Each structure stands twice: as C-alpha cells, then as structure tokens.
Structure 1
Amino acid sequence: MAQSGQDPVSNLADWTGAELLEGYARKSISPVDVTKAVIARIEAYEPQLQALYAFDPSAALKDAEASERRWMRGEALPLDGIPGTIKENIATKGTPVPLGTAARPLDPAPVDAPPAARLREDGVIILAKTTMPDYGMLSSGLSSFHPLSRNPWDVSKNPGGSSAGAGSAAAAGYGPFHIGTDIGGSIRLPAGWCGVFGLKPSFGRIPIDPAYYGRVAGPMTRTVHDAALMMRSLTRPDMRDAMSLPYQDLPWLDLDIDIKGLRIGVMMDSGVGLGLGLALDGEVHASIEAAAKAFAAAGAIIEEVPAFITREMLDGLDDFWRQRAWMDIGALSDDKRALVLPYIHAWAEGGRSLTGAEVYAGMNQMMVMRNAAIAATKDFDFVLSPVSPVVAYAAELASPNHDPEAPFEHIGYTVAFNMSDQPAASVNAGFTKAGLPIGLQIIGRRFDDIGVMRMSRAWETMRGEQREWPKF
C-alpha cells in the first residue's frame, strides 16, 4: 500500500507496481485514475526530460478502462492495470522501430516482440516507447532521431544509455514498469546514473527477437520487488528466440537471502578504461567500499577480485562492433548515411577497412573475455563492483570522454558479464555530494538470476532511507 500520508490522487504516479495491485484488489484505486495520474506526470515532466517516443495517452486510457472492467469482474490478469514503457528497439505492433537513428525507415512493426507481448498479455498498460541513441551504440541519450534525453536528477546531465529514456522514465515516475536492453551495459549504466534498479539477466533468460550474442532484455524499476513481478511474465517462453534458455518456473518473489557466510568478491579495478581521463571517481569508490563493508558486517566473507579485462579484449570487442555497425551504415545511401549521428558514423567507419582476420580476432577476444570473467568470479557467490568509474556526465556528450576512437573506456565493469552470460544488476549505492546517483553492480554466477535479485533486495534493505525521487 502507499506510504503513510500519501495523497492517492496526486501521488498515484509514484506508487510501486505491488502497491497498485494491492489497491486495485481492494478497489480503493482504479487503473483509470492511475493512468491519468501517470499521463499528467508525463505531460508535466516530458518537456524537460524527452524520455519518450510514440507516447499515446488515448490508447493507454482505453487499455486502462478495459483493465478496470476486468478488475470489477474478478478477471484481472497478473499485472493488470500497471502502467509501463517499452524501449524503442523492442517492437510493439503498429509502431515504427527507428533504432534511435534518423537513417532508418519508419515502417510499423507487424507484431509485438516477446518482452512487449508478455507484458501486454498480462495486462500492463503500455504508455509509450522510450528513447535510445543511434543503433543503441552509446551510453548516452544522444540521438539523430529522438530529442536529447536528460537525467531527472539533474537535467544538465545524461541519463545513460542505450536504455536512456527507460532510465529517465523510471526515475521520473512514468509508471512503475520499464524494460530496456543490454549488450555491454545498456540497462545497468542508465539504471546506475538514474538511481533505479536494473537487471541484466542471464543470456537467454528473457526471450527476445531479434536475438544475438550478448543481447538481453531486462526490467528497470524503482524497486527490486517490481522487477521480480515483471520477471514472472518476461521469462515465459517464446519460440522466436532460438537462443533462449529452457523455461523455469522460478520463485521470483522469494527475495529473502541469508548473507552470513557468503563469499563476496569486490572488483574495484576493471583492468581497463581508467586512463584517458576516466579514473575511478572518489565518491564512487567510497560508495562501493561502504556497500562491501555493510555486507561484511552482515556476515559475508569479502575478498578482492583482481582486474581481469585487458586492453586486447576491449580493443577486440571494439573492432568487432565497429565492423558490425559499418555493415548497416555502409550499406545506406549517401543521403541516409549523412543522417546518422556524426559520432556513431565516425566510430563505425573505423570498421570499414578491417580485414576478415582482424574481425575474427576481435570476436575471439570476446570469447577470451567470457572465459576470463567466469574464471575470475567462479570462487565467489557474488561479486560487487561499480557500474561505471564515473557518474552522470553532460547530456550533450556521446560518452564520458566523447572520443569515438576510445568509445568503451567506461564499460569495463559491465561488458564482460554480457560476454559471460552472467546475471548482473545495478542498484543505487548512494549519491554524490552534488546529488547524482551512484550505481552498485551485483554480479552472480551463470543463471543465478534469483540470487542477484535477492542480493539486490538485501542491499535495498541495508542501505536505509532513500532520497525522494526528483520533482519538477
């Protein structure tokens, strides 16, 4: 239920999904009133945040009315009437998928992709899509198609990316449920910089289409419990994803864990990316260190995880993805190619002259990274690290160092766990003196998504009172 003293009319946009389901069941609130409250929040905040694409309030209200009727008939679906958003690159029927770039044709998607389909089937009211940068290849809200997305905690700062709008929307209270995608940090970075919870699940845990190596979809919410509610739906099977895991009916809402005796590694040095002006920020270091001490006080055994990412691994990853991006961008007409964000064009063009041997070597370095991540973490139940060496940076920049020749310096803590299939979450660790959120990454063993959720919930409990969500 809502916190004591909440005005149910003015604050419905800030209720969690769990609170909304309880209120609907008691018939003390309605999906229509909640949807109207969230629409009002969006209309008030969106001129400053620019987090949304294809916002459709009239369709959302029709869906809310249908949800209200189901609740009144006693036929409610598992997530009936909870408002949410879907990242732009997850197809929703009838909406174009520009992938953040002005160079793509705006053809309506014929069907919902699996994550959107599962949420819609279970009654989630899809308010809008959320913004992303060109081709999803930036940790930024900078796009040649969408307006510049901004961070609700400080609108001069970046929300992160590539799930840029999703992170901003979750922090701003555009409904409780949001879903992003991640191939190198694209859920965890915006979650960390926007102060929300984001889960990059094990590879294949949530069916997705199109599926390719390292790509996952995952929930972005204000609470771990809300993400667990989403996981019950998102993990249902879909034959369109030939790389998905066999379905398991896991106890997503069982979030209790005994910390005592757990072996927890702490990785303060990712091995790369701390040069070029991206040294580990002192306030980030202090927050992660404080989290490790809190787990130690709860009875965990804390040990250091030595750095394992090498320059060769990161450069190989860069070569592979540059060439992959150039396959798309290089195939465009000159007129269309000119529409691509200049930073992305300059980065991708670096793949133009790579030989087949160089691209293969780059892909091989991704496998080397995978093996190194599993070897470095195998003796631990969980590993803690920063999500990023830095906090949110200027909104107008494509990356913290804004250099297409060194684009991945800030993802050294996150990308390895895409390659290794391991689940990893970002949960708020605290704030800088300037009021910017700091993300704590919690990494689990392969396929232990439940464990990562439980550890994240334990940290939510241990960290104490949170700051109020940003208001405009």
Structure 2
Amino acid sequence: MNDLLTLSIRELIGLFGDKKLSPSEYWLAIEARVEVFEPHVQALYLYDPESARAQAKNSTERWARGEVLGPLDGIPVTLKELIATEGQPVPLGTAAMDLTPALTDAPIAARMKEDGAVIFAKTTCPDYGMLSSGLSSFHHLSRNPWDLSQNPGGSSAGAASAGAASLGPLHIGTDIGGSVRLPAGWTGLFGFKPSHGRIPVDPYYVGRCAGPMTRTVEDAAFSMATLSRPDWRDGTSLPPENIDWLDLDIYVRGMKIGLMLDAGVGLAVEAEVRDAVIAAAKRFEDAGAIIVPVEPVMTRAMLDGLDVFWRARFWGDIEALSPERRAKILPYILHWAEGGADVSGVEAVRGFNQTIAMRQACSKLFSTVDAVISPTNPIVSYPADWASPTNDPARPFEHIGFTVPWNMSEQPASSINCGFSTSGMPIGLQIVGPRFADMTVLRLSKAFETWTGGVPKWPEPPIAG
C-alpha cells in the first residue's frame, strides 16, 4: 500500500500544517487507489475526481495562506448516497426513484463543506437503505474487499467497501438498526453510532442516526467535532457541548461490563464469532474490568413488532408509486414491503410500541452495568449477491438482534474488529454505552484497539492478469 494511504487524519493535518504534504498531493494518492480498487469493490456513486482535485487545490491554497476552514480541511471523505448534497440526485439506492437534484445539503454534507473536507463521492446503498447488503436495483453490486465473493453488509455498504479498500480515511454512513455497525463488523472497520441526535440528520425519524466509518478509532473521533454541530432541521439534535473528542484515555479497572453472547432472537452466533468476543472480554478483564454475563434485551415479539411497523411505514412511502415504478424496486424489498399493505393502524401502533419495549429493556440492563459488549454480527459472512444474511424476505431482520435495540434506546454503540475467521474474514465486537455517554464508547474502543494493535494489514486490489 502507498505509505500515504496509511496515515491517520491527525497525521495528515499535521503534515498539511507543516507544509510537508499538501491536500492536492494526498488526493492524488487517493485517486490512484480508487482507479485500481474501485472496479473490483464498486463502492462509489457520483465519483468526481475532477471536482475532488479542485477542492483539494482550494484547500492547499488555504493551508498555504493559514486560512484553514476547519479540522477536516483537505481530508477526502465520502457520504452515503442517502445523505443529500445540493445539486445531486438522491436515488435512495433504488431504480424506482426519479433522479431529481437535491435542493440543499443535508446537515452532514453542510458541515463537511463548512470545514473544507474534500467530498469526492457518494457511497452505494441498497433500495431505500432497507437491507444489510451491497445489493441494489440502482447501484452496482458492492463487494467486500477482504473477499470479493462476500457481502460488505449494509445498508452503508459502499462506505464499508470504500473504507476497507483504503479509498480515503473517512466515510459517513447512516444507521437505523445497525447499518453503520453491521458493515463495519463485516469489513474490519471501526463504525460509530453515536447517541441519537448527536449527529443531526435530515430526514430524521425513530432510531435513525449517522456515524463515521474509519480504519481507526481516532479517525472517527476526529470527525465528531465537525459532524456533531447542531442543525435546526433535526428536531432531535442535541444541544452544543464542549466535548474534547480526542480525549480518549480511560481507566477501565473497576468498570462493570456486561457480556452479551445471545441476542435473544434471530440467527445463532457462529462459534468463531463467539470465541472472538469471549477473547475480547478477556482483554477487558485483564485490564481490571468486571465482566458480567447478561441476558439479551431482545425478544421475538420485539423483532416481529418492529418488522410489522417498518413494513407498514415503508408501504406508506411507496404505495403511491405507479405499478410500473414500483416494479423497479428490488424484488426482495418489494415482496417484504407488500406485507405492510394489509397492516391495520392498530397493528402498526402495536408494532411501534415494541420500540418502547426495547428502550425499557435496555434501560433496565444499564441500571446494572457501565457498558455492554457483544458480537456485532452473529455470522462471519455471506455471499455478495444475497439481499441479506438469510436471503429470505420473510425473515429480513434475523441478523440485527445485537444492534437494533440500541437505536431504539438512543444509546451510543460501536463496532471494532476483534479478530478474523479461519476464512480470513473480519469479526466485529460491539461496545455499547449509556445514553449520551459517547465518549465512554469511544474510549473503551480506543483502549481495545490499543491492546490488540488494530487491524495489522488492509486488503489490496487483485493483481491484474
């Protein structure tokens, strides 16, 4: 790998400031990487190297004048396609959408532009962001850089593929049931879902968050000063706080950490995943934490209720489409959504009420522990062309038992690599903290990364010929 591609955001900013490297020079290294790896992973949408060169040139000139816009000035970044950027279409991953240019930047895009980041592409997602897969009726099939026959997960599929392929240091995804953490786990990245409202989103709704996907904890933390600035368009946006996002030291000794090895519902945890998470728990125990086995918070009724509510909600979004346009939706998603057509209002409310039950169960658990660790994903991997880990629209959410409750409880959670399977695929450890304790999650994640040394080597593009 080109040595420049291994640099952290902090290192890059230092080099820019010392005039030992310019944003333009760094961008050319990223551009060369995209050229050789993107044809294999197909992570990007609206990739625009010409615009990126111009943005990097402007940043280089600002650094030369000492007029830097913000902490990410000159840093290349991708945004998940669902995050609107002014003048560009937001197809929502589906061929059923009109390609109408967005009128304004979404909050995340606005913050990135304010701070001078180089937005060089959007990243792919499945139809309406409703799958944990790189499969889409609109985008190319995104693949996992660790094994191109395997799925990167989703719905922040392209962000995960791009991050693991080292197409820049920072990729922003969104997460309503695990869509940052699940693909981060399957691609070895660090994925951070902060407390609900910490990073403003538009549109916002129950459980929807956004978060950084990076190769290191510090890179994600570095981005939070930019991402977490409030925005009036998100009615759940948290008030401004003077948080030192790079204060990542933590004293683990004496912390009571719950170890959850059973999600309570869905796919069984594979042995290699279970063993890697138990080994991770031992790391915390060796550092002085008190590891306490905890029961799952999810139940079958909760997951099924959420399924009913989401089907009804999504059917409400698409029922006005013409039959011709509706037929363009990925068949898996359309078949799932059609189950919402006959859901009554009472049934939909009962389904929604299960999100409250999740919140209550999570709150009860956190009255007994300081943090929780668990698998991020129950399985090691699945084929690239599958729509989900079950590939069954009748069982669409069997893989989110460990991740979705923390969206509904609005708690911060991360996924960090905790090892590899015998097949060479990454395994993710989820770390969950109390509501608003974003720094606790980042600090515990950083401590774990320090103990393990992080991912030692990232994937390389296939050798031509």
Cα deviations by residue, 1:200-232 (Å, 9 ceiling, x for unpaired): 010011111111110011111111111111101
Cα deviations by residue, 1:322-362 (Å, 9 ceiling, x for unpaired): 11111122211011011000000000001111111111100
Aligned with residue 74 of structure 1, among 66, 74, 84 = 66
Aligned-partner residue type, residue 434 of structure 2: R
Aligned-partner residue type, residue 292 of structure 1: A
* Other-structure match for 1:3: none
Q: Are positions 1:215 and 2:208 aligned together?
A: yes
1:68-107 equivalences in 2 (<5 Å): 68-77=60-69, 78-107=71-100
Is contact 1:381–1:444 with CA below 8 Å preserved after alignment? yes
Report the secondary structure of 2:388's partner residue: coil
* Other-structure match for 2:393: 404
Aligned with residue 139 of structure 1, among 122, 132, 139 = 132
Distance 2:201 2:268 in 1: 35
Aligned with residue 199 of structure 2, among 186, 206, 216 = 206
Aligned with residue 29 of structure 1, among 4, 21, 25 = 21
1:377, CA displacement in angstroms? Answer: 2.5
Aligned-partner residue type, residue 247 of structure 1: P
* Other-structure match for 1:266: 259
Distance 1:91 1:343 in 2: 25
Q: Are positions 1:18 and 2:10 aligned together?
A: yes
Aligned-partner residue type, residue 379 of structure 1: T
* Other-structure match for 2:144: 151
Moved over 3 A (4+): none
Instruction: Give identity over the alignment, percent.
Output: 59
* Other-structure match for 2:247: 254
Aligned-partner residue type, residue 54 of structure 1: L
Cα deviations by residue, 1:335-394 (Å, 9 ceiling, x for unpaired): 101100000000000111111111110001111111111112322111000001102210
Judge which range, 377-386 or 189-198, deviates more: 377-386
Cα deviations by residue, 1:58-115 (Å, 9 ceiling, x for unpaired): 0000000000001111112321111110000000111100000000110111111101
1:244, CA displacement in angstroms? Answer: 1.1
Aligned-partner residue type, residue 435 of structure 2: R
Distance 1:397 1:319 in 2: 22
Aligned with residue 393 of structure 1, among 358, 370, 382 = 382
* Other-structure match for 1:56: 48
Aligned with residue 344 of structure 2, among 331, 340, 355 = 355
* Other-structure match for 2:298: 309
Is contact 1:195–1:438 with CA below 8 Å preserved after alignment? yes
Aligned-partner residue type, residue 182 of structure 1: D
Cα deviations by residue, 1:422-459 (Å, 9 ceiling, x for unpaired): 00000111111111000000000000001100000000
* Other-structure match for 2:312: 323
1:465, CA displacement in angstroms? Answer: 5.5
Normalised by the length of structure 1, the TM-score is: 0.96
Is contact 1:378–1:445 with CA below 8 Å preserved after alignment? no
Distance 2:221 2:103 in 1: 29
Distance 1:14 1:81 in 2: 16
Is contact 2:92–2:127 with CA below 8 Å preserved after alignment? yes
Judge which range, 346-355 or 458-467, deviates more: 458-467
Is contact 1:11–1:37 with CA below 8 Å preserved after alignment? no
Distance 1:391 1:327 in 2: 34
Distance 1:465 1:232 in 2: 23
1:465–1:370 Cα change, 3 Å: closer
* Other-structure match for 2:434: 445
Report the secondary structure of 1:409's partner residue: coil
Is contact 1:329–1:345 with CA below 8 Å preserved after alignment? no
* Other-structure match for 2:154: 161
Aligned-partner residue type, residue 253 of structure 1: L
* Other-structure match for 1:236: 229
1:39, CA displacement in angstroms? Answer: 1.0
Q: Are positions 1:333 and 2:322 aligned together?
A: yes
* Other-structure match for 2:175: 182
Distance 2:242 2:134 in 1: 35
Q: Are positions 1:194 and 2:193 aligned together?
A: no
Cα deviations by residue, 1:146-185 (Å, 9 ceiling, x for unpaired): 0000000000000110000001111111111110000000
Aligned-partner residue type, residue 321 of structure 1: W
Report the secondary structure of 1:29's partner residue: coil
1:308, CA displacement in angstroms? Answer: 2.4
Aligned-partner residue type, residue 87 of structure 2: G
Aligned-partner residue type, residue 119 of structure 2: I
Report the secondary structure of 1:21's partner residue: helix
Report the secondary structure of 1:198's partner residue: strand
Aligned-partner residue type, residue 27 of structure 1: K
Aligned with residue 417 of structure 1, among 402, 406, 421 = 406
Q: Unmatched 5+ residue regions in structure 1?
A: 1-5
Report the secondary structure of 2:378's partner residue: coil
Distance 2:351 2:231 in 1: 31
Report the secondary structure of 2:247's partner residue: coil
Cα deviations by residue, 1:2-25 (Å, 9 ceiling, x for unpaired): xxxx8xxx3323322111111111
Q: Are positions 1:298 and 2:290 aligned together?
A: no
Q: Unmatched 5+ residue regions in structure 2?
A: none
Distance 1:306 1:468 in 2: 35
Distance 1:87 1:404 in 2: 24
Distance 2:255 2:57 in 1: 47
Give the count of matched residue pairs. 460
Aligned-partner residue type, residue 431 of structure 2: I
1:36-51 equivalences in 2 (<5 Å): 36-51=28-43
Is contact 2:417–2:455 with CA below 8 Å preserved after alignment? no
Normalised by the length of structure 2, the TM-score is: 0.98
* Other-structure match for 2:106: 113
